Amino acid sequence: MLVLGIETSCDETAVALYDSQRGLLGELVYTQQIHADYGGVVPELASRDHVRKLLPMLKDLLGEKGLVVDDLDAVAYTAGPGLVGALLVGAGFGRSLAWALGLPSVAVHHLEGHLLATGLEVSPPEMPFLALLVSGGHTLLVRVDAIGEYEIIGQSLDDAVGEAFDKTAKLLGLGYPGGPEVAALARQGDASRWRFPRPMVDRPGLDMSFSGLKTFVLTTWRDCEAQQRSSTRREDRNRDKADICACFEQAVVETLVIKCRRALQQSGMQRLVIAGGVGANQALRAGLARLAEELDVGLFYPQPGFCTDNAAMIAFAGARRLQAGEFEETRIAARPRWDVAALQAPGKPRTSADTNRLQVGSSV
Ligand code: KG4
Ligand code: ZN
């Protein structure tokens, strides 16, 4: 079965072709540049850019692979959570294409895409596993027992980790998205210059908090700026930025490692999966690799391009649901707020309670 995957939930426009027998045939991702001047995603601009890019990208991808739309067997698109206008572009496009070609389509939960993305790798993890899902909008510890059976056992009570990276970058005048820029500067910095807080690690439980770290970045940077005024050396300014990035990154990594250790010990899980954009961070991967070795658990992560938003994970998750007999009728689904723990295993009848939960937010 050849599945077209479509992702437009935020500022990446992405298309992918996943074949249930042959695996991933190809994929394209375009990261929107129009938000750079604003330091964050502007929803209306994101929707307009998806409209501009989606069809040409699909044409290019099919052309690259020597395929035509008639070769497709199904369409999987991200239905939420995300920006409603951006979601509607992918949902309207995907569902209409499926209808015109007489194909089944399936509405995919973006976080399910992230959770299952290691399925695209050569040696995917068996279920059950514990997933650390760290993205721009979510920081979750999830128990994954089977497709559609997800239990959130810990989460950030305020900022997501990716958001903390992005806000740190903004405070220091770096580019957007900030995560990769902060990570690159951190490699040149001295992580022992200050000790940034490791939030909520001395409290029991698996919940987290990252908004305080951002305030720490702000006050540290203000102190540095005050001292820079008495110096004319430009290197001091750059060194201060690199040191802040290194201290910040180390605090984030240590906090996540402590929470993962606790979650693995409490749940007895033998496999740990890192998912979401911040999963591309090398320091985080190294910290979790040391933990996994110490606890003798398997560690799995997608290649960096499948940690950040992409359509390959959406095509893959959609294919798994379609193979289990799930598809939608004429409905076009866009659910800006959608609880991943409310998902069901494919093919299971939904209870009215689930249906009510699924329809929180706007459902079109
Ligand atoms: O999963 P993702 O692409 O989009 C969401 O679903 O949110 O995650 C994007 C987030 C952004 O906050 C970005 O700054 C962060 O992932 N990110 C990173 C790295 N690459 C992306 N954070 C730290 N280190 C990285 N190498
Ligand atoms: Zn994402």
Average pLDDT of 276-285?
97
pLDDT above 60 for 363:
no
The amino acid occupying position 126 is E
Q: Is 47 left (phi over 0), alpha (psi -120 to 50) or beta?
A: alpha
Tell me how far apart the alpha carbons of residues 359 and 307 are, in angstroms, rounded to a whole number.
Answer: 27
At residue 22, the pLDDT reads 97
Please give the helix or strand (H or E) that residue 152 lies within, else none: strand 149-155
Atom number of ligand 1 nearest to Cα 162: 12
Q: With contact defined as beta carbons under 8 Å apart, do 124 and 317 qualify?
A: no
Q: Which residue is it, tokens 């050849």?
A: 2
361 pLDDT band, cuts 50/70/90, is: very low
Number of neighbours of residue 303 by Cβ within 10 angstroms: 13
At residue 104, the pLDDT reads 94
Tell me how far apart the alpha carbons of residues 164 and 179 are, in angstroms, rounded to a whole number.
Answer: 9
Atom number of ligand 1 nearest to Cα 135: 8
- DSSP, residue by residue, 108-137: EEHHHHHHHGGGGSSSPPPSSEEEEEE-SS
The pair of structure tokens assigned to 313 is 């994970």
360 pLDDT band, cuts 50/70/90, is: very low
Provide the 3-class DSSP secondary structure of residue 14: strand
Establish whether residue 135 lines the binding site of ligand 1, counting it when its CB lies within 6 angstroms of any ligand atom. yes
235 pLDDT band, cuts 50/70/90, is: confident
**75-111: b (≥16 Cβ within 10 Å) or e:** bbbbbbbbbbbbbbbbbbbbbebbeeeebbbbbbbbb
Tell me how far apart the alpha carbons of residues 252 and 268 are, in angstroms, rounded to a whole number.
Answer: 24
Tell me how far apart the alpha carbons of residues 172 and 45 are, in angstroms, rounded to a whole number.
Answer: 25
Average pLDDT of 306-332?
90
352 pLDDT band, cuts 50/70/90, is: very low
Average pLDDT of 230-257?
91
The bound ligand whose nearest atom lies closest to the alpha carbon of 275 is: 1
203 pLDDT band, cuts 50/70/90, is: confident
> What percentage of the chain reaches a pLDDT higher than 70?
94
CA dihedral 149, 88, 313, 58 (to 10 degrees): 150
The pair of structure tokens assigned to 216 is 């720490």
The bound ligand whose nearest atom lies closest to the alpha carbon of 168 is: 1
Average pLDDT of 181-186?
97
Which residue of 29, 165, 309 sits with most ligand 1 atoms within 8 Å of its CB, as the best mutation to test the pocket?
165
Average pLDDT of 223-235?
81
Tell whether the torsion through CA atoms of 228, 229, 232 and 234 is positive or negative: positive
Atom number of ligand 1 nearest to Cα 280: 26
pLDDT above 50 for 56:
yes
pTM of the model: 0.92
pLDDT above 90 for 358:
no
Establish whether residue 278 lines the binding site of ligand 1, counting it when its CB lies within 6 angstroms of any ligand atom. yes
